A and B are shown apart, each in its own frame.
Chain A
Amino acid sequence: MTPDEPLIRWDWVFSHLGDIWQRLVEHLTLAGLAVAIGLVISFALSLAIRRYPRLYDPVTWVTGVLYTIPSLALFALLVPFTRLTIWTAEIGLVSYTLLILIRNIMAGFQSVPPDVREAAVGMGYAPNQLLWRVDLPLALSVIIAGIRVAAVTTIGLTTVTALIGQGGLGFFILEGIQRFFTTPLIVGAVLSVVVAVLVDAALVGVQRWATPWTRARS
């Protein structure tokens, strides 16, 4: 970073548009896969907690400890076992989504008014129908709020996986630091923030579309 070096070299950006696109897609794939897997695991665990409430404390304790471990350390702990593969990145990223998602799924279920459930039972809903047609739709806006937090967090953490050879946009950040070249560094950092904000906005859209009845209230 010599004094005459501009903060950003647009010619570098334009000559690397292909690379940037490829890393962007990689970034979204890594983050998207992690949130999707995290959602499936969290949903299954939440259903188990609903059935056996005693599981709540141990599950939140374990996921809480996972959440506390700093990202780089968690990835590094996995390296001796899963090497520098995509799985090291995915296992780490998925672990961070669990606490956020489980808390919000459970809070969503708890927000369903007991009267509504009782009315549904009275109308002859079986437990399964009660879950899919009453509890889940009413819990959806809180669950999507959790998905928003999980998605934004995961997109940010995905940049760290560049250190274990995965990358996405973090590749540019690392390249910029190692070569003392601000252009890729700024491209990587700014794009990861922009992607997080756009995904968050898109999820707000999904929430409004999926739960139209909340619009009148808010």
Chain B
Amino acid sequence: MSFLATILTWLGQPERWQGVDSIPTRVGEHLLMSGVALALAVALALPVGIALGHFGRGGIVAINVANVGRALPSLALLALCLPLAFALGLGLGFWPTMFALVPLGIPPIVTNSFVGLRAVDRDTVEVARGMGMREWQVLRRAEIPIAAPIIIAGLRNAAVAIVATATLGAVVASGGLGRYIVDGLARQEEARIFVGAVLVALLAIAVEIAFGLFERLTVSPGIQAQRSSDEGAWTAGAR
């Protein structure tokens, strides 16, 4: 039987579409885990990054957070969260994965919101103040809208890293699409491995595209036009 036929047969089984190990369930688990982790990471990191950028303090901290995030490999982080979750009596699966996902999302958000706000032209900020804006108005109506493309790029990097690592969560017995890959490797079922991998890849690309659309919808057109297409040297983005 050809490889394609094996995959189609595997996809044709009823348990692929209904029940605990079905594709819709696994996609749902993956999105739930990633969504909760991203929301927590945003809640923790965005105010810090924006505050540091606004007051222009702690630049070294903000930049180094990104470097630490890059040096800490996702599998190692996941592995180290396992004994932690056990010590707290939270067991396998969801919690150790969550402990790994949230810290992975934080560095790109902190760094990009800091860098984005710092990159706002000081004259523009002065003009906003001169127009009589209060400090929080300067932030909300001048600095954040201008920094939005860079902040959103940070959110996108965080989301892609989280979706990728949620796949690895299967190693510590969490749900999500990683289950197909890890179980497939254990059972030597190539169709399961392959379909799992394709779905994870599509999900990651979809997240990337979704953030692109989000940027197009939220960022003011004038600022989008200003941005050069050349993004230059690699500065941020942990994986």
Contact surface of A with B, Cβ cutoff 8 Å: 1, 7, 65, 67-77, 79-80, 96, 100, 103-104, 107-108, 110, 142, 145-146, 149, 152-153, 155-157, 159-160, 162-164, 170, 173-174, 176-177, 182, 185-186, 188-190, 192-193, 196-197, 200
Contacts and interface: CB of A to CB of B under 8 A. Distances in A.
Contact of B160 (A68, A72, A79, A107): A68
Interface string B1-34: 0010000000000000000000000000000000
B204 interface: yes
Among A72, A104, A159, A196, max chain B CB count under 10 A is at: A72
A72 B178 contact: yes
A107 to B, nearest CB: 4
B234 A79 contact: no
Interface stretch (B79-87, B129-137, B216-224): B79-87
| Range of interface residues on B (Cβ < 8 Å) | 35 or more
Interface string B65-84: 00000111111110110110
A142 B232 CA distance: 10
Contacts, number: 152
A77 B167 CA distance: 14
Contacts of B201: 68-70, 73-74, 77
B190 interface: yes
B231 interface: yes
A1 B232 contact: no
24 contacts: A7-B83, A69-B200, A69-B201, A70-B200, A70-B201, A70-B204, A72-B200, A73-B196, A75-B197, A79-B190, A79-B194, A80-B190, A80-B194, A108-B233, A156-B76, A159-B73, A159-B75, A170-B75, A177-B79, A182-B82, A186-B80, A189-B73, A189-B76, A193-B72
Interface stretch (B45-53, B107-115, B179-187): B179-187
A103 B233 contact: yes
Contact of A188 (B71, B76, B168, B208): B76
Contacts of A200: 71
A103 B194 contact: no
Contacts of A110: 230, 232
Contacts of B181: 72-73, 76, 163
